[in-house]
Amino acid sequence: MKTGFFITLEGFEGSGKTTLARKLHHLFLKNGLNAMLTKEPGGTQAGDKIRKILLERGNEGLGYKAELLLFTASRAENVRINIKPALEKGIIVICDRYFDSTTAYQGFGRGIDMGIIDYLNGLAVEGVIPDLTLFLDVDPDIGLKRATILSNNTELRFEDEFMQKKEVDGKLFLERVRDGYHQIARQNPERIKVIDANRDIPLILKDIVSIINTQLSQKFKKEITLEL
């Protein structure tokens, strides 16, 4: 049975998601709470190999169906090996991207049938649903600028598609993914909190800590503080 607390971070490249996930992890540890940080795709031995197949330049020929199956395969391993066992031990798990990414990018972005997306996401996560999802909403132009400055050059496949202004059914891939995220957030108002990620990281972190504390104080009778 799950006794830990499960937080996922979602959003565009350049939203500060990965930096914030790391800072949050550090903050939990500094506040004396047992926490684990993982990411998708990746997080396991097989997952890291799958990540390379998915994101390395040179794999641009991969079809959408294979892409979907690989993202969900990586997730299934991450849930089985890392996330589920940690939550069962009462650990706080932070995951940089989770199933909402597949719904947003492969479902809304690529236009793959949502029934298939939901089925595969469900198969991969075995009922392990986040307690809290932080959707870091960044203006796509700001995000892309930040992402191209910060990004590892060998892993630019999706940014490339955004930059090339690729269209699916007459609408930019970028806009489809962003609209998708907003739709997912509207459908899950209890779980997903939309955060304005156009601001500086310290301000975003302050908001996130306050949201987390509301939930942690109920569950763990504990709050985290930024000043330690």
78 and 40 in contact (C-beta within 8 Å)?
Answer: yes
8 and 39 in contact (C-beta within 8 Å)?
Answer: no
Rounded Cα distance between 216 and 175, Å, is 34
* The one among 5, 6, 28, 105 contacting ligand TYD by CB under 6 A: 105
**For ligand TYD, the closer CB: 51 or 193:** 51
* Contacts (CB under 6 A) with ligand TYD, residues 108-137: none
176 binds ligand TYD (CB under 6 A): no
Residues 6 or more apart whose CB falls under 8 angstroms from that of 9 comprise 17, 20, 21, 94, 95, 96, 97, 133, 134, 136
- Residue 122 Cβ, how far from ligand TYD at the closest point, in Å? 14
178 binds ligand TYD (CB under 6 A): no
As a 3-state breakdown, the chain gives helix, strand, coil percent values, each rounded to 5, of 55, 15, 30
**For ligand TYD, the closer CB: 131 or 161:** 161
4 binds ligand TYD (CB under 6 A): no
25 binds ligand TYD (CB under 6 A): no
* The one among 5, 6, 28, 71 contacting ligand TYD by CB under 6 A: 71
- Residue 43 Cβ, how far from ligand TYD at the closest point, in Å? 10
Beta strands in 16-101 (DSSP E): 35-39, 92-96
**For ligand TYD, the closer CB: 39 or 193:** 39
Q: Is 47 helix (H, G, I), strand (E, B) or coil?
A: helix
Rounded Cα distance between 55 and 30, Å, is 33
* The one among 17, 84, 176, 178 contacting ligand TYD by CB under 6 A: 17
Spell out, one character per residue from 145 to 174, where the chain touches ligand TYD: x when CB under 6 A holds, - when not: -------------x----------------
Q: Which DSSP state fits 163?
A: H
- Residue 156 Cβ, how far from ligand TYD at the closest point, in Å? 9
Query: In the block, which residue shows the tokens 């190999």?
Result: 49
Q: Which DSSP state fits 136?
A: E
**Interacting residues with ligand TYD (CB under 6 A):** 13, 17-18, 40-41, 55, 71, 96-97, 101-102, 105-106, 158
